[in-house]
Amino acid sequence: MTIRVLLADDQALLRTTFRMLIDSTDDMKVVAEASDGAEAVELARTHRPDLVLMDIRMPGTDGLAATATICADADLSGTRVLILTTFEIDEYVAQALRVGASGFLGKDVSADALLDGIRTVADGEALLSPAATRVLVSRFLATPEPSTDNLAPEQLTALTAREREITALAAEGKSNTEIAEDLFLSPLTVRTHIQRAMTKLDARDRAQLVVIAYQSGLVAPGPTPSS
């Protein structure tokens, strides 16, 4: 299956570079390019891409607002957003994850890492390294905005004990392989539990599952990591 990608970045040269790279592969192609967030939303609704490669800092409607609109649109439930940022860990990235982004990459990412990241997110996984997850949740995700509707703890009763355990470990930034080693399970079994938990909690992907785990109180934030 070919992964259909929408590029959203105000730098034309960067979009051209990404298009050439993506179109050079056999399993993905660029279906449209946007120079700001408003155009990204419009083109997403027109083309229904599998993934939007979204820059955060753009003139006019920025990538954060565009991400929120795309992820809140029921007609775009099959479209995932992968954030591009100059600063790999900052408050804007955390806000993007809150509103539905599936992960992020630094703009200095290598060609292979970019393509792998697109495949990872298009496959329904989150692109969050363990270290980045810990920093993000400790600094930002564990302190919801006033307008955020948190998941009530009793809603977690939909999860089995094993699903709660694995969700908590995922929220700590552990990979499926690390969780499998901790619990003496296979990575495939861990992945199955993660997917079931996402379904029960209506999480778009693993990134949103991490947000829910903290905002529901399933996992408590630790001390803020030092810079």
Grade residue 75 by pLDDT with cuts at 50, 70 and 90: very high
> Of 95, 127, 159, which residue sits at a domain end?
127
Across 153-172, average pLDDT: 86
Residue 42 shares a structural domain with residue 109:
yes
Indicate if 76 and 188 belong to the same structural domain. Answer: no
User: Same structural domain for residues 169 and 61?
Assistant: no
Residue 224 falls within a domain, yes or no?
A: no
Alpha carbon dihedral 66, 224, 168, 182, in 10-degree steps, equals: 120
End position of a domain, from candidates 127, 155, 188: 127
Q: How far apart are CA 151 and CA 139, in angstroms?
A: 19
| DSSP secondary structure string for all residues of 215-227 | HTTSS---PPPP-
Q: What CATH number does residue 44 fall under?
A: 3.40.50.2300
Q: Each residue of 177-191: pLDDT tens digit?
A: 889 999 999 989 999
Q: Is 100 in the same domain as 167? A: no
Burial of 132 (0-12, 13-18, 19+ CB in 10 A): middle
Whether 220 is in a domain gets the answer no
Instruction: Tell me the average pLDDT of the chain.
Output: 83
Within this chain, do residues 101 and 174 fall inside the same structural domain, yes or no? no
* Cβ neighbours of 78 (radius 10 Å): 9
For residue 226, is it within any domain?
no
Query: Based on the domain organization, do 10 and 114 belong to the same domain?
Result: yes
Domain co-membership, 96 together with 200: no
Q: Are residues 154 and 207 in the same domain?
A: yes
Kindly state whether residue 135 falls inside one of the protein's structural domains: no
Q: What is the pLDDT of residues 127-151, one digit of tens each?
A: 765 555 666 666 656 565 544 455 5
CB-based contact 80:52 (threshold 8 Å): yes
Q: Do residue 164 and residue 121 come from a single domain?
A: no
Given a cut of 50, whether residue 35 has pLDDT beyond it is yes
Q: Is the pLDDT of residue 21 over 90?
A: yes
Co-location of 57 and 99 in the same domain: yes
Tokens 């408003």 identify what position?
A: 38
Give the model's confidence band at 103: pLDDT under 50 very low, under 70 low, under 90 confident, else very high.
confident
The structural domain count of the chain equals 2
Q: Is residue 20 part of a domain?
A: yes
Tell me, yes or no, whether 146 and 196 share the same domain.
Answer: yes
| pTM of the shown model | 0.72
Look up the domain containing 103 and give its range.
3-127
Check whether residue 119 and residue 147 sit in a common domain.
no
- Say whether pLDDT at 218 is over 70: yes
